[in-house]
């Protein structure tokens, strides 16, 4: 009768059994992390997550490997097979398919709206109305969620003639203000605006704007809150901001100042409330997309889109089907941007604008916002 050589080890997950040389048996409970397959244990966590994301997306092995950037080693292929066979992965894929079907239906609605918009020029240009009365504004645009350019209502504003570079420097030159600097070094400058803030005297900023060639590297934008956090708040004395539409009590904390050189860009996004953008100096070109086209715009984070109207083929594939409304806003004109409407803005000249959300009408809305871009992670190519 043959004898079993000692020591011997057996693993009966989650139990490990060791028979020592003296014949004693030792039983150990294996930690949860060790219950995973040995192939998984040797892969970095980032690679495991990226492989799992590809499997849950329903991609085949070749596609997953290309997205993750790893070689088709036996270990990696074993991990993919293990993930595909897991019951939780099967359930997640079923739930994802159901969600994708709903998204595809919404994309159908969006493509149809964009297709219809291309049938008539009126759907591609923002309507312009001179001397728009408050009653019609509320009925035909505010409540109807339609944009409009209002003309002929700002000529009497003192700011129209008073806000020259010399006036701004003479009256507010010493006021410290925050501006965004280094925007061209960060492709996500709008999302990372808090990282780009730079404090400087307003007079220095005016000089920089007025002597700069076209640039998107620096800009004084709404998020700098200069009208209600610095001495620039006195600029509101020169603005008669549509008193029949706006609440005087809310204007001080809900009105924003935009000032920058030609070439500044506000990327495609939507606001969570209605807004009026009033142009005091220079021109701005605005592209707008209705909320129904949201499924074409890659709304990957908050109010931001992953699409670029100036480079449509470089973004999400569905964006090429979108159809914009466009307008060029000149001095003395104001654009009503309805809640939820996507817009992309480029300054064609040195430009000063004032915007506000302080409407007399209800302007509070509840939103559900995406928190993270759902894109496969890419790791450094390696062999495992």
Please report the pLDDT score of residue 165 as a whole number.
97
Q: Return the higher-pLDDT residue of 306 and 87.
A: 306
**By CB neighbour count within 10 A (0-12 exposed, 13-18 middle, 19+ buried), where does 248 fall?**
exposed
User: If we measure between CA atoms, which residue out of 327, 300, 376 comes closest to residue 70?
Assistant: 376
Q: At what angle do helices 61-68 and 74-85 cross, to 10 degrees?
A: 120
Answer whether residue 297 shows pLDDT above 70. yes
Binned at pLDDT 50, 70 and 90, residue 19 comes out as low
Please report the pLDDT score of residue 23 as a whole number.
58
List phi, psi (to 5°) of 28.
-130, 140
Answer whether residue 196 shows pLDDT above 50. yes
Q: Return the higher-pLDDT residue of 348 and 76.
A: 348
List phi, psi (to 5°) of 246.
-110, 155
Which tokens is 135 given?
């009653």
- Least confident piece of the model among 163-167, 196-200, 277-281, 290-294: 196-200
Contact predicate 320/369, CB 8 Å: no
How many CB atoms within 10 Å of residue 24? 10
Answer whether residue 174 shows pLDDT above 90. yes
Binned at pLDDT 50, 70 and 90, residue 317 comes out as very high
Overall average pLDDT of the 339-361 stretch: 97
Rounded alpha-carbon distances, angstroms, from residue 370 to 150, 301, 303, 305, 374: 33, 5, 8, 11, 9
* Alpha helix ranges (H) inside 86-236: 87-117, 134-136, 159-162, 165-172, 202-211, 226-229
Q: At what angle do helices 61-68 and 45-56 cross, to 10 degrees?
A: 140
- In tens, the pLDDT along 99-153 reads 888 889 999 999 999 999 999 999 999 999 999 999 999 999 999 999 999 999 9
Please report the pLDDT score of residue 363 as a whole number.
97
Residue 367 three-state SS: coil
Burial of 187-196, coded b for 16+ CB within 10 Å and e otherwise, reads: eebbeebeeb
pTM over 0.85? The answer is no
- In tens, the pLDDT along 233-286 reads 999 999 999 999 999 999 988 999 999 999 999 999 999 999 999 999 999 999
Proportion of the chain above pLDDT 90, given as a percent = 60
Overall average pLDDT of the 197-211 stretch: 95
Whether the ω angle into residue 7 lies within 30 degrees of 0, i.e. cis, is: yes
Compute the residue count for the chain: 384
Q: What's the CA dihedral at 12, 16, 21, 24 to 10 degrees? A: -100
How far from the centroid of its chain's Cα atoms is residue 291's Cα? 14
Please report the pLDDT score of residue 247 as a whole number.
96
* Mean pLDDT, the chain, integer: 87
Please report the pLDDT score of residue 382 as a whole number.
39
């Amino acid at each position: 009768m043959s004898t079993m050589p000692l020591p011997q080890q057996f693993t009966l997950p989650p139990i490990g059994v060791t028979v020592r040389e003296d014949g004693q048996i030792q039983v150990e409970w294996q930690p949860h992390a060790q219950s995973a397959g040995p192939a998984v244990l040797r892969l970095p966590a980032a690679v495991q997550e990226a492989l799992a994301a590809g499997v849950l997306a329903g991609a085949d092995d070749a596609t997953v490997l290309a997205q993750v950037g790893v070689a088709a080693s036996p270990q990696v292929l074993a991990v993919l097979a293990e993930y595909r066979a897991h019951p939780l992965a099967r359930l997640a894929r079923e739930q994802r398919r159901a969600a994708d079907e709903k998204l595809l239906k919404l994309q159908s609605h969006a493509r149809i709206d964009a297709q219809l918009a291309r049938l008539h020029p009126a759907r591609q240009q923002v309507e312009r109305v001179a001397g728009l009365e408050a009653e019609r504004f509320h009925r035909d645009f505010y409540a109807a969620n339609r944009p409009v350019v209002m003309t002929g209502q700002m000529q009497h504003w003192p700011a129209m003639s008073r806000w020259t570079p010399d006036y701004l420097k003479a009256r507010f030159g010493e006021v410290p203000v925050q501006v965004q600097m280094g925007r061209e070094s960060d492709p996500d400058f709008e999302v990372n605006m808090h990282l780009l803030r730079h404090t400087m005297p307003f007079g220095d900023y005016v000089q920089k704007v007025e002597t700069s060639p076209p640039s998107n590297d620096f800009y004084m934008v709404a998020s700098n809150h200069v009208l209600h956090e610095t001495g620039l708040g006195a600029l509101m004395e020169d603005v008669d901001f549509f008193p029949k539409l706006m609440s005087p009590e809310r204007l001080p904390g809900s009105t924003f100042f935009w000032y920058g050189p030609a070439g500044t860009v506000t990327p495609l996004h939507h606001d969570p409330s209605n807004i009026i953008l009033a142009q005091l100096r220079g021109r701005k070109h605005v592209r707008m997309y209705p909320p129904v086209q949201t499924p074409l715009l890659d709304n990957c984070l908050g109010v931001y889109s992953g699409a670029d109207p100036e480079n449509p083929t470089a973004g999400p594939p569905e964006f090429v089907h979108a159809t914009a409304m466009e307008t060029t806003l000149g001095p003395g004109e104001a654009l009503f941007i309805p809640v939820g409407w996507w817009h992309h803005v480029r300054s064609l000249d040195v430009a000063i604008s004032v915007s506000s959300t302080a409407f007399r009408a209800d302007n509070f809305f509840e939103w559900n916002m995406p928190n993270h871009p759902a894109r496969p992670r890419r790791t450094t190519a390696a062999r495992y």
